[in-house]
Amino acid sequence: MSVAGGQVAGEVVTGEAPAEEEASRAPLKRRDNRAWWLVLPVVLSVAFTAVIPLMTVVNFSVQDVFSPVDRVFVGLEWFQSISRDPEVRAALVRTLLFSAQVLLLEIPLGVALAVVMPRRGAWVSVALVLVALPLLIPWNVVGTIWQIFARGDIGLGGWTINNVLGINFNYTLDPADAWITVLVMDVWHWTPLVALLAYAGLRSIPEPYFQAAQIDAASAWATFRHIQLPRLRGVLTIAILLRFMDSFMIYTEPFVVTGGGPGNATSFLSILLSKIAVGQFDVGPAAAFSLLYFLIVQVFCYVFFTVLTRSGR
Amino acid sequence: MARVNGRRLPWARTVFWLYVATLMLPLLWMFGMSIRPNEDILGSFSLVPQRVTFDNYATFFTDSAWYSSYLNSIVYTSLNAVLSLIVALPAAYAFSRFRFAGDKHLFFWLLTNRMAPPAVFLLPFFQIYQSVGLFDTHLGVAIAHMLFNVPLAVWILEGFMSGIPREIDETAAIDGYSLPRFFVRIFLPMIRSAIGVTLFFCFMFSWVELLIARTITSVNAKPIAATMTRTVSAAGVDWGLLATAGVLTIVPGAVVIWFVRNYIAKGFALGRV
């Protein structure tokens, strides 16, 4: 976690060969450890907002806190009980399932949207702003919008399903309906992100590629499959991983719409965690839960970073 | 000129605007809720408001609990955007121009903070911000949101800065510019659009966040999102007022997005498209 801070002064450049080898990879970047002065403000600010809080969490996770003065060291007990807790495991499975569905729906839909999006003319700006609009709505308001829209009595969506399609739909009572509502809400909320990324990727494809395709009389599908899609690999990597991370830590939107219910139907990891931490104020288990949760995210994050730095640039 | 950027499918335009219409539907519906009286909302279902009223908006702008929390959100969000930018600028320059001990580790470490679930930090934030006197202050929320905005700002800025050839730095150095003078006089004007995009993204992510902001505030810096829970009372939900607050929270985002519309996509890709 805080590895970077410790290495500052200690690391010495050793030998000519590896330095030269690195230099040939990035010929224009100068090696200068004084650059650390430039990153110092970032390190300090993140130390205050992330490292210190995280250390506190570690501290909590190995103790049983009865009161500020009365606490007992319990070792890894909380970690064991949390990792065996059926409710936590169910929430983990639920969250993974949700993230998988989000990716399966949003990535193809976002790419499709980017392909049909206008690329020139007066309407481009309007189109961009309208598509991006859901991304700028506070997350609880996204929840509110769908809380209203999906209701059978006052919402257009819920009302249509119940009265026009004749299907009984109630997200406050039926677990499946609640799940669908949260999923549709997420698709509505975040597909624009995928679309914008893919759109930026499409715009960066040089014109001669398309002229060549035209000369070869390639079909629209062939053009997409062999020219556009391969060129989208970089941005789609970012899109997939950003969407995975953010859906994996989703909290506010389902909290507003369903509150994690009905029953536990939409109780994702973050919702369960904040229930334990703030609702029940079980400090020890919540801290252990936080760390395990953080660890899982770190692993995925590492994959993200590796893939991104390998395919990008 | 023939068709630009590939052949356009004949129905592309239709499909796209149909999607946009679908996208707008829930938003328009909420707007519709906000301009009808509550009796009409709960009374009979109708597509178009039978009676139009702006009472809910009047309530919002006359009740200090509403408009002051709206201002709170704008204040801490703006503060956060500026602070994040100032902290991130030199670091992004360092990452884009120099290699230094532990630079790759540091970069990865920053990324992990952008990806950390806010729920993880709930417990300590409450205690730490209370103990250092930042609890329930605008500055407190602004600093707390730097958790995810500083890494994001560094990433976006680094992406844009790396697109500017390093020869410019060297030429300026030969011309006798010191690093700080070069940075302010020459470099910053060159990355104007990146600064705009960064401010926009910091503003946006701070504006949409609720969990942390709610946890470390009580009255003085309470965000609008937290005030919206007030609409639930013993008498039920005040749907009209809730929808009004919802509509108004979309306004700041819609305004700032217009200014950076040509760069948003690149910003979302962390400056790497």
Q: What is the pLDDT of residue A1?
A: 34
Look at chain B and report how many structural domains it folds into: 1
**Across B43-110, where does the E strand assignment appear?**
98-99
Q: Distance between CA A13 and CA A68 in Å, rounded? A: 47
Task: Suggest the residue from B19, B120, B250 to mutate for an interface test with chain A (most A CBs closer than 10 A).
Answer: B120
Compare A311 and A24 and report the one with higher pLDDT.
Answer: A311
Averaged pLDDT, A65-79: 75
Instruction: Identify the helix (H) or strand (E) that includes residue B236.
Output: strand B236-237
Does the pLDDT of residue A16 top 90, yes or no? no
Tokens of A225: 């499959």
**A294-to-A288, A306, B117, B208, B260 alpha-carbon distances in Å:** 10, 18, 7, 22, 33
Domain boundaries, chain A: 3-61, 85-311
Of all residues in chain A, the percent with pLDDT exceeding 90 is: 18
Does the pLDDT of residue B211 top 50, yes or no? yes
Complex ipTM, two decimals?
A: 0.82
User: Which CATH number fits the domain that encloses residue B204?
Assistant: 1.10.3720.10
Separation in Å, CA of B55 to nearest CA in chain A: 19
**Across A18-152, where does the E strand assignment appear?**
30-31, 63-67, 70-73
Q: How confident is the model at residue B159 (pLDDT cuts 50, 70, 90)?
A: confident
Averaged pLDDT, B258-266: 72
Which residues of A are less than 8 Å from B117 in CB distance? 248-249, 251, 269-270, 273, 293-294, 297
Question: Cβ–Cβ of B249/A138 closer than 8 Å?
Answer: yes
Q: Does residue B23 form part of some domain?
A: no
Does the pLDDT of residue A195 top 50, yes or no? yes
Question: Cβ–Cβ of A129/B261 closer than 8 Å?
Answer: yes
Question: Cβ–Cβ of A278/B117 closer than 8 Å?
Answer: no
Q: What is the pLDDT of residue A2?
A: 35
Q: What is the pLDDT of residue A68?
A: 66
Tokens of B223: 């965000």
Residues of the domain holding B126: 63-268
Q: Does residue B26 form part of some domain?
A: no
Q: Distance between CA B124 and CA A127 in Å, rounded? A: 42
Question: Cβ–Cβ of B264/A196 closer than 8 Å?
Answer: yes
Compare B112 and A114 and report the one with higher pLDDT.
Answer: A114
Compare A130 and B263 and report the one with higher pLDDT.
Answer: A130
Is the overall model pTM greater than 0.90, yes or no? no
Pick the range with the lowest mean pLDDT from A80-89, A276-285, B181-190: A276-285
Q: Distance between CA A95 and CA A267 in Å, rounded? A: 8
Q: Does B262 touch chain A (CB under 8 A)?
A: yes
Task: Give whichever of A183-197, A248-262, B101-115 has the largest mean pLDDT.
Answer: A183-197
Identity of the residue in A135, A205, A278 whose CB atom sits nearest the CB atom of B122:
A278
In terms of C-beta distances under 8 Å and separation of at least 24 residues, what long-range contacts does B1-4 make, across chains too?
B2/A211, B2/A214, B3/A210, B3/A214, B4/A119, B4/A120, B4/A207, B4/A210
Does the pLDDT of residue A289 top 50, yes or no? yes
Separation in Å, CA of B79 to nearest CA in chain A: 15
Q: How confident is the model at residue A186 (pLDDT cuts 50, 70, 90)?
A: very high
Question: Cβ–Cβ of A196/B268 closer than 8 Å?
Answer: yes
Q: What is the pLDDT of residue A20?
A: 39
The CATH code for residues A85-311 is: 1.10.3720.10
Q: What is the pLDDT of residue A309?
A: 66
Q: Does B255 touch chain A (CB under 8 A)?
A: no
SS3 label, residue B176: coil
Does the pLDDT of residue A139 top 70, yes or no? yes
Does the pLDDT of residue B255 top 50, yes or no? yes
